[in-house]
Amino acid sequence: QGIAAVAAGLCIQVVLKDVSIEAAEKGKAYTAKLYDKKIAKGRATEHEKEQVLSQIIATDKDEDLLGCELIIEAVFENMSLKHRVLTDSEQYLAKSGIWASNTSTLPITQLAEPSKKPDNFIGLHFFSPVDKMPLVEIIRGNKTSDETLARAFDFVQQIKKIPIVVNDSVGFFTSRTFAAQLQEASTMVSEGIHPVRVDNLGKAIGMPVGPLTVNDEVSLTIGIKVRETQIEAGLIRAEDDRWPDGNRLIEKLAKEYNRGGRYQGDGGYYDYSDGNKVIWPKLLDMYY
């Protein structure tokens, strides 16, 4: 929904396809909410909102993707699911169209295996919320052509984002470095360092917010699922875990106490209510 909002806001026609028309319409409504906020601040008009919304076609039918020059798949980090979406939808691409996977960790070369045109397959890793985050990571698979890379680079600039180009690997660049910060932070908590101190130290070295707060925002559950998917696919080995204590802490929060993050379960490292946050008391009981 974030990618659709940004593209439509720059006069690019978008087909927003989901598993149901209700889900697709909900995705389109995200754009309406963004523009309602802009209108309230005097940064957009009702007419501009309607113009942008007219660029988005919400659908639950793969056939409505017929003729798209670029299809961006943005489903969960699951290899078989992404393969299924590719198999169902790739046939509707324009003749020289590009297929892009919005993935944060799964290798592009492996994702492209079912593709009939792997030279037209590339990774476009967006960051949430897309309307606010300027970076897009472009990942080149083993068979990605120079032309596909160039066109993907042009698209990222067309939607006024900052592209960085990386080669294919587990976690690429951003997820490897980002995950290392979050896992090191969880390890420090597991070793008895006060979680508020861990967050403050993160801010002291230049992070916009502390690493525990960031993990709550992006979801502890997603990190667990990504790791499990990588192990299942043979991309990493469970016994090679560099942060075993930190990962056990995260799994305890998410799986035993249903604390998968700010928007999942009952919170994460922090409890959230009325715009405020405090460290979950039991976290201190267990580790501090």
The residues assigned a catalytic role are 137
Are 252 and 219 a contacting pair, CB within 8 Å? Answer: no
How far from chain centre, in Å, is Cα 24? 18
List C-alpha distances in Å: 52 to 69, 102, 168. Answer: 19, 23, 35
Separation between Cα atoms, residue 226 and residue 210, nearest integer Å: 22
Q: Are 136 and 112 in contact (CB under 8 A)?
A: no
Q: Are 210 and 183 in contact (CB under 8 A)?
A: no
DSSP string across 122-160: EEEEE-SSTTT--EEEEEE-TT--HHHHHHHHHHHHHTT
Question: 3-class SS at 45?
Answer: coil
Residues 280 and 259: beta-carbon distance below 8 Å: yes
Q: Given the structure tokens 């309607």, which residue do they identify?
A: 50
CA pair distance 120, 116, nearest whole angstrom: 9
Measure CA 121 to chain center. 18
Q: What is the dihedral of CA 222, 71, 125, 132, to 10 degrees?
A: -90
Count of residues making up the chain: 288
